[in-house]
Structure 1
Amino acid sequence: MTGDALPAAAVLREMRWWDIDPVLELERELFPEDAWSAGMFWSELADARHPRASRWYTVAEDEAGRIVGYAGLMAVAGEGDVQTIAVAQDQWGTGLGTRLLQRLIDQATAASCTELLLEVRVDNERAQRLYTRFGFEPVGIRRNYYQPSGVDALVMLRHMKDEGKTDDGR
């Protein structure tokens, strides 16, 4: 990237099994101490794309076809949990993290979630600022959550709005 030019906006699309290898590359680059394994992604995708799915995963692809971000949601019985969200460092500041988080919120809304939880490293202030902008509030700490580093996680909660519902709940 030269000068002040930002990269072209990445395209968001559903994550598929063939995205696992490039997602793993980005995962290991961004989270070298506690990266997810291929098996973890395979397990998550196994519970997507069927009528009773509880997982939704999105990837962001740049114009060259490179995976530059990804995000995942679990939604069960009206409660959503952000499983993961990541953006390639060369995409920081482009709004891609905002777009991925909005996609998860939209998916949680479609799944009728009333709450959306996430965990974020206590030392990741950049991500915490993003989540706060979207209405997430700190509700607790999970000690030694990130392994093997032993870094604590800040638990954040967003109460989902009842947008589009009438006064009687319909």
Structure 2
Amino acid sequence: MKNITITRMTDDDVSEIAELEKKCFAVPWSEKSFRDEMQNKLAVYFVAKDNGKCIGYAGFWNVSGEGDITNVAVLPEYRKNGIGSMLISEMIKTAVTLKLELLTLEVRKSNIAAQGLYKKYGFDIIGERKRYYSDNGEDAWIMTKSFEPCEE
């Protein structure tokens, strides 16, 4: 896994990402949803590739100076190899470049591994959403990372 690259997602990645999505989530987004996201001017998505194969992705919506992370996903066989960290790091760098005030996300209360990853990057639990997940009604933590305003 020496050839992992992180790039902006393109239309050419969508079919492969939609297949990856099915392996990662109980209620996966459709290929059409990803195609729509590629047309969404607020959407910023990244893809992780291993020798050209899509192995993960992450993205956020840039809305009014805040980044709302929609998804972070890595194929099960590639997890625990730093790919999620690479994707989150890229989103943070981009958020800083865009001068966003914060990044926020929802994460399943049962997903301790993801919570640990987000905490490592400075995300804090700021609240919860009851029965957030449609597949099983599980609650979600709301986690946020704030950025210091840059002096102009």
Match of 2:57 in 1: 70
Deviation at 1:101, TM superposition (A): 0.1
Correspondent of 1:38 among 31, 34, 39:
31
Match of 2:4 in 1: 10
Q: Does 1:115 align with 2:102?
A: yes
CA contact (8 A) 1:73 1:108 kept: no
Which amino acid in structure 1 is aligned with residue 126 of structure 2?
Answer: V
Q: TM-score, normalised by structure 1?
A: 0.84
C-alpha distance in 2 between matches for 1:102 and 1:90? 21
**Gaps in structure 2 of 5+ consecutive residues:** none
Match of 1:60 in 2: 48
User: 1:47-70 CA deviation, whole Å, 9 max, x = no partner?
Assistant: 2xxxxx32111111111x211010
Deviation at 1:140, TM superposition (A): 1.1
C-alpha distance in 2 between matches for 1:106 and 1:74? 15
Give the root-mean-square deviation of aligned CA atoms. 1.3
**Gaps in structure 1 of 5+ consecutive residues:** 1-6, 48-52
SS at match of 1:8: coil
C-alpha distance in 1 between matches for 2:148 and 2:86? 18
SS at match of 1:94: coil
Q: Hey, which bits of structure 1, 4+ residues long, moved more than 3 A? A: none
User: 1:10-43 CA deviation, whole Å, 9 max, x = no partner?
Assistant: 1111111121111111111111x21112222122
Deviation at 1:75, TM superposition (A): 1.0
Match of 1:4 in 2: none
Which amino acid in structure 2 is aligned with residue 24 of structure 1?
Answer: A
SS at match of 1:145: coil
C-alpha distance in 1 between matches for 2:131 and 2:34? 22
C-alpha distance in 2 between matches for 1:10 and 1:76? 29
SS at match of 1:41: helix
Count of aligned residue pairs for this structure pair: 152
Q: TM-score, normalised by structure 2?
A: 0.93
